[in-house]
């Protein structure tokens, strides 16, 4: 911890994007419409006549049976299971509207069911959803097909159904094993329940099991979190996603039930991160980047070693940078050089589909500068280094001239040990990984023009 000085914390522990996209979703505009999105779909269909990369699909299932106080996701808290039946009918309409422009049979190499809690759906509803998707898309062998799982809603039989449906990756929401922390965030689940489910997933042959953790929750201390880290290392999932809790009660109403006085102070929060990184790497995990760890033989760690790592709206991915069709309320997608987002409320989402329209309410058409900066930011976020020549050749620029202002800022970061600059490129240092979002922010033109960063979580 001695390498993380108070001065560095003061300077770099500022609000900043997670860069699951660039530009970030807060830059989307309502002037972007369904017609802009349909034009992008038509362009993709024309390109498919030559050769198009496989698609990625994201399906948002917004329902949860109970409220977790830390949650910033778009969700609907309900115990009325019949609400899912209607929602699935609307998802089918949304897919049919896509297929009207794309045609059927497009290859899919990545599917992610997120939420909410996708396991809110019954087994038969999950079967119906997957059958509907398979009627319209061709799922290729060897793809990544993942689903988020609330451990409180499944048993081994339910996991067997997920395997039967073709899912090969599971992500369990754990957050923390400490009973006091679980009670403070209204998510009580015994550790043994998670251990039993992970053992069952291995028996069923899932290729990869991920566990989500959150540091910075109320009542967490470095010592209490050490116990959770030890349990996670004993559990030994293939992947670990370690997220910083972002306390933004003015934006996310459930967080108002969290007592701010119970949150760890900034120094303790950094200690949680540092101890987590040490614990996982000492246990043999590869630090993939920012918030992801993986065992050395997991596909994510392999992609990191081979320079094939990518980042999309779900985080780090092994899949090539490809078009993402996003289905469901609030879902965010990307086709070519455009981003789009669906309506955030169920009423608005369903109303658009009832009228025969896709529920697109905002988005963004990327400029050439956006795409260039995206390439730079993703190289830093995914690989931790960048070669000037590769950017110069790909974008027909002189990097040091185009980014003269940014290079001056990076020189200051070099003096503080966060990056190393050479005549040929930029390298993020081991210490710089603590602040890699801050390094990426240097190239964010929108942040340079807009100093109001309180819309983001802090980068530590």
pLDDT, the chain, mean: 91
* Confidence at residue 2, expressed as pLDDT on a 0 to 100 scale: 44
Q: Is 70 annotated as a binding residue?
A: yes
Specify the number of domains making up the chain: 2
> Do 10 and 153 belong together in one domain?
no
Q: Is 212 annotated as a binding residue?
A: yes
In Å, what is the CA distance from 402 to each residue of 337, 370, 372?
A: 21, 13, 11
* Confidence at residue 18, expressed as pLDDT on a 0 to 100 scale: 83
Q: Which residue has the higher pLDDT, 14 or 120?
A: 120
3-state secondary structure of 375: helix
Q: Is 251 annotated as a binding residue?
A: no
Backbone angles phi, psi at 290, to 5 degrees: 45, -70
> Do 15 and 66 belong together in one domain?
no
pLDDT beyond 50 at 163: yes
Q: Is 339 annotated as a binding residue?
A: no
3-state secondary structure of 173: strand
The model's confidence at residue 449, banded by pLDDT at 50, 70 and 90, is confident
Q: Is 187 annotated as a binding residue?
A: yes
| pLDDT single digits (tens) 391-419 | 999 999 999 999 999 999 999 999 989 99
> Do 35 and 19 belong together in one domain?
no
The model's confidence at residue 1, banded by pLDDT at 50, 70 and 90, is very low
| pLDDT single digits (tens) 289-320 | 778 899 999 999 999 888 888 888 878 888 77
| pLDDT single digits (tens) 23-52 | 999 999 999 999 999 999 988 887 765 566
Mean pLDDT of 60-66: 93
The model's confidence at residue 436, banded by pLDDT at 50, 70 and 90, is confident
Q: Is 227 annotated as a binding residue?
A: no
Q: Is 148 annotated as a binding residue?
A: yes
Question: Which one of 277, 298, 326 terminates a domain?
Answer: 326
> Do 287 and 388 belong together in one domain?
no
CATH code, domain carrying 78: 3.80.30.20
| pLDDT single digits (tens) 260-296 | 999 998 878 878 888 898 899 999 999 887 788 999 9
Q: Is 332 annotated as a binding residue?
A: yes
* Confidence at residue 48, expressed as pLDDT on a 0 to 100 scale: 62
Domain assignment present for 335: no
Domain assignment present for 119: yes
Burial of 70 (0-12, 13-18, 19+ CB in 10 A): buried
Q: Is 382 annotated as a binding residue?
A: no
Q: Is 40 annotated as a binding residue?
A: no
Mean pLDDT of 121-148: 96
Q: Is 115 annotated as a binding residue?
A: yes
> Do 137 and 197 belong together in one domain?
yes
Q: Which residue has the higher pLDDT, 102 or 213?
A: 213
pLDDT beyond 70 at 460: no
> What is the pairing mode between strands 292-294 and 310-312?
unpaired
CATH code, domain carrying 434: 1.10.10.920
* Confidence at residue 190, expressed as pLDDT on a 0 to 100 scale: 94
pLDDT beyond 60 at 427: yes
- Residue 417 neighbours by CB under 8 Å, 6+ apart: 3, 429, 431, 432
| pLDDT single digits (tens) 224-256 | 999 999 999 999 999 999 988 989 899 899 999
* pTM for this entry: 0.91
Q: Is 71 annotated as a binding residue?
A: yes
Q: Is 246 annotated as a binding residue?
A: yes
The model's confidence at residue 434, banded by pLDDT at 50, 70 and 90, is confident
Range of the domain at 401: 1-23+367-460
Q: Would you say how long the chain is, in residues? A: 460
What share of the chain has pLDDT > 90, as a percent?
71
Mean pLDDT of 102-130: 94
Mean pLDDT of 111-126: 95
Domain assignment present for 347: no
Question: CA torsion, points 191, 193, 198, 199, in degrees to nearest 10?
Answer: 110
pLDDT beyond 60 at 339: yes
> Do 378 and 294 belong together in one domain?
no
């Amino acid at each position: 911890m001695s390498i993380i000085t108070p001065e560095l914390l003061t300077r770099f522990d500022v609000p900043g994007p997670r860069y699951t996209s660039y530009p970030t979703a807060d830059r989307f505009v309502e002037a972007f419409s369904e017609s802009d999105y349909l034009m992008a779909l038509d362009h993709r269909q024309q390109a498919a006549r030559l050769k198009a990369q496989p698609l990625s699909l994201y399906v948002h299932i917004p329902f949860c049976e109970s409220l977790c106080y830390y949650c910033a996701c778009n969700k609907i808290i309900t115990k009325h299971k019949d609400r899912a039946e209607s929602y699935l009918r609307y998802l089918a309409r949304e897919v049919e509207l896509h297929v009207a422009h794309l045609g059927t049979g497009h290859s899919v190499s990545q599917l992610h069911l997120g939420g909410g809690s996708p396991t809110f759906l019954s087994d038969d509803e999950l079967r119906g959803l997957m059958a509907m998707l398979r009627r319209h898309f061709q799922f290729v062998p060897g793809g990544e097909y993942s689903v988020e799982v609330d451990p409180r809603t499944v048993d081994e039989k339910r996991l067997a159904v997920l395997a039967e449906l073709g899912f090969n990756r599971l992500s369990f929401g754990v957050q923390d094993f400490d009973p006091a922390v679980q009670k403070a965030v209204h998510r009580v689940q015994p550790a043994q329940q998670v251990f039993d489910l992970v053992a069952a997933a291995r028996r069923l042959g899932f290729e990869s099991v991920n566990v989500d953790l959150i540091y910075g929750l109320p009542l967490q201390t470095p010592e209490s979190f050490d116990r959770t880290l030890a349990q996670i290392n004993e559990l030994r999932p293939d992947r670990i996603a370690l997220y910083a809790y972002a306390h933004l009660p003015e934006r996310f109403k459930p967080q108002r039930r969290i007592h701010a006085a119970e949150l760890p102070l900034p120094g303790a929060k950094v200690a949680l991160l540092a101890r987590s990184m040490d614990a996982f790497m000492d246990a043999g995990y590869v630090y993939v980047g920012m918030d992801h760890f993986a065992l050395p033989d997991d596909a994510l760690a392999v992609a990191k070693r081979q320079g094939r790592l990518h980042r999309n709206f779900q985080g780090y991915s092994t899949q090539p940078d490809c078009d993402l069709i996003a289905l469901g309320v609030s879902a965010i997608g990307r086709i070519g050089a455009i981003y789009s987002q669906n309506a955030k409320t169920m009423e608005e989402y369903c109303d658009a589909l009832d009228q025969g329209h896709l529920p697109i309410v905002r988005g963004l058409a990327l400029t050439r500068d956006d795409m260039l900066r995206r390439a730079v930011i993703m190289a830093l976020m995914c690989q931790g280094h960048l070669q000037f020549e590769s950017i110069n050749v790909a974008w027909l620029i002189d990097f040091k001239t185009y980014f003269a202002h940014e290079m001056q800022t990076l020189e200051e970061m070099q003096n503080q040990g966060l990056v190393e600059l050479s005549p040929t490129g930029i390298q993020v240092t081991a210490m710089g990984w603590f602040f890699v979002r801050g390094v990426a922010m240097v190239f964010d033109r929108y942040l340079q023009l807009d100093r109001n960063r309180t819309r983001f979580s802090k980068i530590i």
